[in-house]
Chains A and B, each alone.
Chain A
């Protein structure tokens, strides 16, 4: 995109993903798992990657950290520029330095993402010691500060507890503390609250917003929940079958979605309805399932499930630019929702 040519934009752009393609070899065939995924993240901003299970959200996150299991997976083309450095080309040693220090990740399952045999203090200290020198006392002090930052009560006591002694919300806070240990510029949160109950979710969101305000950390937020997106994100990338199908600011995507899949996702949001007649209505769903990546057609991958499908959709639609950093991969992208639905 433009970040290469204009040095000024490099200061605010933390990460630039450009034309990222990932392939997995399955039964002797190269199966594309990500095709031409591109997006930017600015300093102190949050980009949400949205989509159903199996559409490539987590794969994008793993690719950024070069954590795709290889074999069978491999990044076949594209660039991942972190502060101007292409992470796809750097050495294994360099990428290990980047992991945890510059870019870190929070996983979906706080129950299993912590090592059960170490105290939480040890696990946070381990990350700090891997990336910076310091005496045992200063590391301990840093660990206590981090536990306070993620609002864990009585950190002096908690520091020597094991993961199984903590609740799910507490563990996710510890995960966040580990991820933040070296003050990374970018934090990737892979469905950070999916495994937690709603009240704890809200606390974690507040915590993340608070940290972003204090430290200017950029977030990639991976989720399938537009409620979470509206809460936290500045920009949205919607993915389907390994492709970016829509991108824009949160307001643009939620108020004026241009891809039928995005509209479908938005309609799937449950709403609290007190009226018994409305409450009896079943929750909307998108018929069908994400296509099998082994059997991809040449056309639009959403066509088989699309309510607005036309004859044109047997060809892959281009990424239609609708404005600055606003695009959708649909033949009908120029038409607002109301008009597009008439084709049904």
Chain B
């Protein structure tokens, strides 16, 4: 309920991402240049983009530069950072920097796949419920509420535990439990926008329901959704970290969350074992949030006219 109220307070006229084939035909290069300029005008967004690029670069090139086996024991346990092993070693003597470098790719891959699942399910359910209303809305929102009342972490744990922990089950578990907020946000936007005159206008020139949902209403609903989905990437990283922390990640794949989870008992003995992976998660989630903010500015034509 409170979620819907905050949504209504958003400005009545909103604008968003140009969407669909029609846009590409009228001077696309100019359009994308303008969008890029608007994005760059937001300093925080540029910082976020640089930061995230560095993290992604670390995941891709890092293993070639600082190679090794993230599961291998390389030195004595609890070696302090600053020595021969830059970030020190964990409780069984594994190199923490190798862990961070090798953990980037799986962590980001899980987060992106889970966000994709979340966004697809959430957008579809929310759009159908908000657009058609009535019985469709009643049914879909009933399903959404069912998923909302389940404590998501425990539900995800059950999903992962029932099917053995693997990359796929972790992604599915996060996706299945996280789509509800996107669905509710999408529904609220659609409920508000479907009454607008330009929707009737689109109908009056012969548009069908599918066109109205995808090309007329969705682009107008996108700005809050872009932010929500971008933030969802961050939330998925945290969710995966929570699952790994509880020992429910894929045991064959090292993620940052797993590093924190495994070293959690030694925080007061060896702060670096937990702090460095934690810091990387923090920076990643922060950079994603900054980019989300910048995207909102860039895709808002109201700001472009200035």
Contacts and interface: CB of A to CB of B under 8 A. Distances in A.
A116 B201 contact: no
B204 A105 contact: yes
B301 A178 contact: no
B13 A165 contact: no
Interface string B199-212: 01111111110000
B304 interface: yes
B198 A130 contact: no
B195 to A, nearest CB: 10
Given A96-B208, A112-B196, A162-B305, A117 B219 contact: yes
A173 B19 CA distance: 24
B205 A127 contact: yes
Interface residues of B, number: 35
Given A104-B204, A130-B206, A125 B25 contact: yes
Nearest to B220: A117
A114 B204 contact: no
Interface string A155-187: 000011010110000000001001101000000
A160 B304 CA distance: 12
B128 interface: no
B27 interface: yes
Given A99-B206, A100-B205, A140 B26 contact: yes
B144 to A, nearest CB: 23
Contacts of B19: 117
Which one of A114, A115, A126, A178 has the greatest number of beta carbons of chain B within 10 Å? A115
B22 A116 contact: no
A53 interface: no
A134 to B, nearest CB: 11
Interface residues of A, number: 42
A282 to B, nearest CB: 34
A162 B201 contact: no
B206 A100 contact: yes
B17 interface: yes
Contacts of B205: 99-100, 104, 126-127, 130, 178-179, 181
A175 B201 CA distance: 9
Given A113-B201, A116-B15, A117-B220, A97 B206 contact: yes
B302 interface: yes
Interface string A77-108: 00000000000000000001111110011011
18 contacts: A71-B134, A98-B206, A99-B203, A99-B205, A101-B206, A107-B197, A107-B204, A112-B197, A112-B198, A113-B198, A113-B201, A115-B216, A115-B220, A118-B18, A122-B23, A125-B22, A131-B206, A164-B13
Interface of A: 65, 67, 71, 96-101, 104-105, 107-109, 112-119, 121-122, 125-127, 129-131, 136, 139-140, 159-160, 162, 164-165, 175, 178-179, 181
Given A99-B205, A160-B31, 8 more contacts: A96-B208, A100-B204, A115-B216, A122-B23, A126-B22, A127-B205, A160-B26, A181-B205
